[in-house]
Structure 1
Amino acid sequence: MNAIVVVTGPEGPTLELATVPVPTPGPTQVLIRVSASGLNRADLRRTQAHFKVSGPVVAGLEVAGEIIECGAEVAGLQVGDNVAAMAPGGYAEFAVAEDVSAIKVPADMPPEQAAALATWYMTAHDAMVTAGKFRRGDAVLVTAAASGIGIATAQIARAMGAGVLIGSVRSPKDNAAFAGLGWDAVSAGAPEDIRTCVATATNERGVDVVIDTVGSGILDALMDATALGGRIVSVGRMGGFHDQIDLDKLALRRISLVGVTFRTRDRAQKAAVRDAMMRDLWRLLESGAIVPPVDRIFALKEALAAQEHMKANKHFGKVVLQVRDA
């Protein structure tokens, strides 16, 4: 099959088109004929350690397509199902995924949109609803609000009845699609601007839930912006892995600081994340109340150019590789 593999280039790991064997699904895996592969920030690492595979290192983490083979112990899925899935080695014509990391796709959803579901929307829903204990009417703050997780969180928060929705970005966004997410307020600039923006938007009360994908450098501002008894959920660390914390402030404000990742979840825990998302979001996705935005579509052979486009941080929505026509 055709696939994009990670190879050593003169300036470090790079990508090239190659022919590699079609993978074989294990007992709890499905084999997917890939229609579209979604790009994610983690793809830029291009390291074998990250993708955790042996043999040719096929890039990518996320796909949408049709199941053509199921392992003997697969539950809830069958051949012919159109799915979106977290699938290491997703920049390829075929990919394998664990059944608990795959979700069925609404019949009318194009694969280019579906390619955003498994990573953005499962992550955002788990962070906000499960880890963040979101309840209708809660005030929500989303950092890196124009990122994929930021977009998905905003859409889910609005659809599930957030009382106040606040975004934080590094610089002002002159983008109708970003404004259309329904922000009540947007902070653009330094961390101290987050404090001021949230205080104004919530009448000094603070937010109930913070979904943070920035990490280093803003934790103290996020704590100041959080209401008594509020929850800060650390999803990503685009700004760095380390920060300082005022433990007295954490205790006085009774803030819960929670980290989330799929990397240390077992099979049952991954299934629970998938099922909770489907319970809350299936109707919204099927009706079109939530539509994953697509920024740009590249051909599979253009994977390196697609990653450079994403790396430039000028996109809004999913950057997608079209592997085959739907």
Structure 2
Amino acid sequence: MIDELPEPAPTANEILVRVRAAALNRVDLGMSTGGAHGTNGGIGTTLGLEWAGEVVEVGEHVDRWRVGDRVMANGPGAFAEYAVTSASAVFSVPDALDWAQAAALPVGLQTMHDALVARGGFVSGQSVLIQGATSAMGIIGIQIARELGASVVIGTTTSEQKVARIRQFGADVALNSTRTAWVDRVLEVTDGTGVDVVLDLVAGELATDNLRATRIGGRIVNIGRVGGERVALDLNLHSLRRITYVGTTFRTRTREEVAEVVQEADKALGAAIATGRVSIPVSATYPLAAAREALDAMANNTHLGKLVLLP
């Protein structure tokens, strides 16, 4: 439902932004029916968690941003003409990016950089496997791994038609994870050892196979669970391979923790964003009044990249 609400106002350490584009995320589907995502959500909540726009007002103690600055962020209330967010958790938008391209980036940037580097312990020269590589998160994860110097980037999908697209976004190897031999192929391209880091956007039945595909002493970072939240895990294999299994989310992080994640991602990837080496394709754009149509398209899951609203 589209409704008229008062224009929000920034408090100390916040900025008010005129939203020019807002990207959809899968969590918006649950929030659209009254569900919650961390502290966001519930009946009457303005939807949307990712946007880009112009700063129109700054709160007290905000020094970095000025009125007119182009910014993008993972922040609440994105499906609106104006949004307020913490000034410390905002990326600058390079001149080369249009609003829709910018709105598609923040969630993937901060999530996948943090998962790979801070949670996954990745260093240049290591190998990376991304489960669910044709999702927006997966696409940007491939590019981040490549940008930071991965020796081999492997991506998976459950659609044979999408295998070729994974390679287009920079993966060295693209696999269909519904095929039983996919782990054998991972071992083949890593000289029989397995990958150093797995970024898992799927979970479900892939959980034990991920253990087989990860080297002894490697790391698996679980980010998403679209394949299932509860599974039977081979704990003996987990123990034998001495794998560190890490869970990650932003729902239980403080503003200060999120700000640190944003700053680290910006420092590592700012130049790559400005030159287009790290980006997410925009599958389609919709006017704000067609938000319901956009959410239906998200539910159908036939798009590649991001769906974006233009308020």
Q: What is the TM-score with the length of structure 2 in the denominator?
A: 0.93
Other structure's SS at 2:78 match: coil
1:166 is matched with: 154
Contact 1:20 1:56 survives alignment (8 Å)? no
| 1:104-148 residue CA offsets vs partner (Å, 9 max, x unmatched) | 111221110110221011111111111111111111100111001
1:115 is matched with: 103
Gaps of at least 5 residues in structure 1 are 1-15
Q: Using the alignment, how far apart are the partners of 2:109 and 2:141 within structure 1? A: 8
Please, which of 78, 102, 120 is the counterpart of residue 132 of structure 1?
A: 120
1:67 is matched with: 55
Q: Describe how 1:122-201 pairs up with structure 2 within 5 A.
A: 122-174=110-162, 177-190=165-178, 192-201=180-189
Tell me the CA shift for residue 289 of structure 1: 1.9
Tell me the CA shift for residue 294 of structure 1: 0.9
Q: Aligned letter for 2:19?
A: V
Call closer, same or farther: CA 1:114–1:17 in 2, change over 3 Å: same
Tell me the CA shift for residue 229 of structure 1: 1.1
Other structure's SS at 1:319 match: strand
Tell me the CA shift for residue 295 of structure 1: 0.8
Q: Using the alignment, how far apart are the partners of 1:142 and 1:223 within structure 2? A: 13
Contact 2:203 2:226 survives alignment (8 Å)? yes
Q: Aligned letter for 2:266?
A: M
Moved more, 201-210 or 54-63: 54-63
Gaps of at least 5 residues in structure 2 are none
Q: Percent identity?
A: 38
1:22 is matched with: 7
Tell me the CA shift for residue 60 of structure 1: 0.9
Tell me the CA shift for residue 201 of structure 1: 1.9
Contact 2:222 2:247 survives alignment (8 Å)? yes
Q: Using the alignment, how far apart are the partners of 1:39 and 1:182 within structure 2? A: 24
Moved more, 26-35 or 239-248: 239-248
Call closer, same or farther: CA 1:198–1:181 in 2, change over 3 Å: same
1:43 is matched with: 28
Tell me the CA shift for residue 55 of structure 1: 7.8
2:45 is matched with: 57
Q: Aligned letter for 1:108?
A: A
Call closer, same or farther: CA 1:27–1:53 in 2, change over 3 Å: farther
Other structure's SS at 2:76 match: coil
Q: Using the alignment, how far apart are the partners of 1:231 and 1:279 within structure 2? A: 24
Runs of 4+ in structure 1 off by over 4 angstroms are 174-177
Call closer, same or farther: CA 1:61–1:163 in 2, change over 3 Å: same
Tell me the CA shift for residue 53 of structure 1: 5.8
| 1:240-288 residue CA offsets vs partner (Å, 9 max, x unmatched) | 2112223332222121111111111122211110111011100111122
Contact 1:294 1:320 survives alignment (8 Å)? yes
Q: Using the alignment, how far apart are the partners of 2:125 and 2:104 within structure 1? A: 27
Q: Using the alignment, how far apart are the partners of 2:35 and 2:177 within structure 1? A: 36
Q: Aligned letter for 2:225?
A: R
Contact 2:10 2:84 survives alignment (8 Å)? yes
Q: Using the alignment, how far apart are the partners of 2:8 and 2:165 within structure 1? A: 38
| 1:190-210 residue CA offsets vs partner (Å, 9 max, x unmatched) | 274331221122121100010
1:10 is matched with: none
Tell me the CA shift for residue 18 of structure 1: 1.6
Call closer, same or farther: CA 1:239–1:100 in 2, change over 3 Å: farther
Q: Using the alignment, how far apart are the partners of 1:163 and 1:317 within structure 2? A: 25
Q: Aligned letter for 2:94?
A: P
2:303 is matched with: 315
Tell me the CA shift for residue 169 of structure 1: 0.9
Contact 2:136 2:280 survives alignment (8 Å)? no
Moved more, 101-110 or 47-56: 47-56
Q: Describe how 1:97-116 pairs up with structure 2 within 5 A.
A: 97-116=85-104
Contact 1:57 1:89 survives alignment (8 Å)? yes
1:8 is matched with: none
Matched, 1:288 2:288: no
Q: Describe how 1:207-246 pairs up with structure 2 within 5 A.
A: 207-246=195-234
Contact 1:294 1:317 survives alignment (8 Å)? yes
Aligned residues: 308
Q: Using the alignment, how far apart are the partners of 1:315 and 1:255 within structure 2? A: 34
Matched, 1:260 2:248: yes
Tell me how large the CA RMSD over aligned residues is. 1.8
Call closer, same or farther: CA 1:94–1:218 in 2, change over 3 Å: same
Q: Aligned letter for 1:264?
A: T
Q: Aligned letter for 1:34?
A: V
Call closer, same or farther: CA 1:254–1:106 in 2, change over 3 Å: same
Other structure's SS at 1:286 match: helix
Q: Using the alignment, how far apart are the partners of 1:291 and 1:165 within structure 2? A: 17
Moved more, 140-149 or 239-248: 239-248
